[in-house]
Amino acid sequence: MLRPILVPSLLTLVACLPFFTPLSAEEQAVFDPEDQRPRADQQQAEPLVISPLRRESPAASSISRIDVIDGDEQRRRGNPQRLRDLIDNRPGVYIRTSGSYGGVTSLSLRGTRPRDNAVFQDGLPVRDATSINGATDFASFTSLGIEQTEVLFGAHSGLYGSSAIGGVIHQRTLRPTASHQGRIRAEAGSMDTYTLDSGFTGPIGDQLGYALSLGGVQTVGVSSRYDTTGDRRPGDASGFERDGFRQFISRGRLEWQADPSLLLYAAGEWQAGRTEFDGNDAFWMPDPNDDESETDFRSSRLSAGALADLADDLQLRVDGLWSQQLREQEDSGWYDEFHSDLWHGQAQLTWQIMEALSADLGLEASREVGRFIADPNGSSQDFRGTNHIYAAWTAATIESHGASLRGSLRHDEHQREGGATTYSLHAGYWLWPEILRLSASHGSSFRAPTLFELYANNGNPDLEAETSRNFSAGIDIHPHPWLHLESHYYRTDYRRRIEWGFPTYLNASDDQRVWGLEFRATLSDPDAGWRLSAFVNPQRSDDGNGEDILQTPRLIAGAEGAVTIGSVLLSAQLRHIGKRYDFGFPEPTEVDGFTLLGAAVSWQPQPEWELYLRGENLTNEYYEEVSGYGTPRASVYGGIIWRY
């Protein structure tokens, strides 16, 4: 199982010993508390990211396409609280929510399904063992306490394991700073929405640092469902009972620089909230005036680890995680409670063999437990499922004379579903240094069956992991310091995909595929304080029978612009989602495309104070993200931020 990957990895490292060249003292990345600065104030040409290598590296060195969302972009978009409002409106990203705030929120990357994205926080997985199909619900994901979000596109199961088919979402929480700093924000707006959040960082003595964030949001929202049988316009939920959402979240982190070569940390997170939604009436038809259905959710997350420089050229990172997620609702007719626990441990050894060559070796072990408690008045039965996952992976990176080559190989051994071996290869070359770069990637990926798909009363314990092959190629052009042009082609081919086939889940024999093109142009002058960006992303899909894959738009497009005039920042965003098909009976439902306009203005009269105003759907468009679900009309939010 693990031996086929461990033995070649160790032999590779030993074979490279003759080429060992130690790094100079200037090249070492040793943590020094006195060198730490607030991330928002760092003046780096490129941000540092985690996801391409599972360790810190410059974003510009990533061969795969990666988008980084930091504090500057958050301000350009009007300081939205929901993570979806920061990730949205970029090529290769499609987000849909069942209703307004708190509705089930799905994210697709490059046309893949929502279940085909791996999600991480501070390098550790975010997983729910009670997820029906493995998809992450982004409804409770917030920008509170998040320093940076990375969206890594393409197949990366060779590094991250199950579900990293369309890409990887990685969130980095606040880190301690050398001086005491803080931020408090208050916001109010449409749909009786109120947000209050805060973040504080600083030192505790000479070697200890802290980061703490607290906050919450409450909204009355709009009706989750609306009456589709009349002559109402798409998504028009006016006149029906409104479905609200509330959430409280806290995050904390302590870091101890035990000595110049050893950093220890401990981190925690707790959140709780309630989502109201519209269930079905006595005839199992959607009831837009349902004022009883709601879901209470709670989650906890504790992690600890160490980062040690074993030698000038050798670094070891060790992390441990426990997380728990609870969801409860009454009289659902199905399952009323979902309890998920995850224990996860990982270790990563990084060896800088020579200036142009580095290698990584990683080991992981996880235990997942899912408990499903059925409605006593329903037909489902309680059940409990567990799964143990063991994995080993290795990766190598070569960068020399404008060329970059990266490869990874990983084996996952699942206690219940069996093993899966995946790989990825990435190559990039500056055909014209600093002006024209070509890149290409190829990889295999997989998604393991969920506990529900395997062991629910309609599950199938004989399911096999679904697999895919992915290919992408791109070109980046920088003809002028102000101008960046980029284009990428991508394709994903599925095999043995897991689908519902009455009366149970099965591995489908037909093959699905999705392919598309991404074009984006960015014109910006940071010194003058202005930026323009526009993109278009046509894509096609085939469900194996010559039809479009459901919930896959044929076109995504958008544009945004921002300009700073003195202490005022003005920005606007335009987002278009093309036609797609959604679930329907007896035939899939065609959902019309829509275009949304948003704008924001921010005034910062002093470094400590900022006032902002954000408008969404300013043309008051009627539209659907999910067939049969309501969407907000034009809305406006205003807030104030104080920093010290």
Please write the tens of the pLDDT for every residue from 144-153.
999 999 999 9
> How far is Cα 505 from Cα 134, in angstroms, rounded to an integer?
14
Tokens 């707790």 locate to 270
Which residue stretches of the chain have pLDDT < 50?
Answer: 1-44
Whole-number mean pLDDT of the chain?
89
Which pLDDT score, from 0 to 100, does residue 598 have? 98
Q: Which helix (H) or strand (E) holds 160?
A: helix 157-160
pLDDT in tens, 293-337: 999 999 999 999 999 999 999 999 999 999 999 999 876 778 889
Burial 557-570 (b: 16+ CB within 10 A, else e): bbbbbbebeeeebb
**pLDDT given for residue 11 in this prediction:** 34
What global pTM score does this model have?
Answer: 0.90
- Cα–Cα distances in angstroms (integers) from residue 362 to residues 9, 127, 396, 419, in the given order: 10, 19, 12, 17
Structure tokens at 636: 């406006």
Looking at residue 158, what is its pLDDT?
A: 94
Beta bridge pairs of residue 223 = none
CB 46 within 8 Å of CB 66: no
- Can you identify the CATH homologous superfamily of domain 3-232+242-284+294-643? TonB-dependent receptor, beta-barrel domain (2.40.170.20)
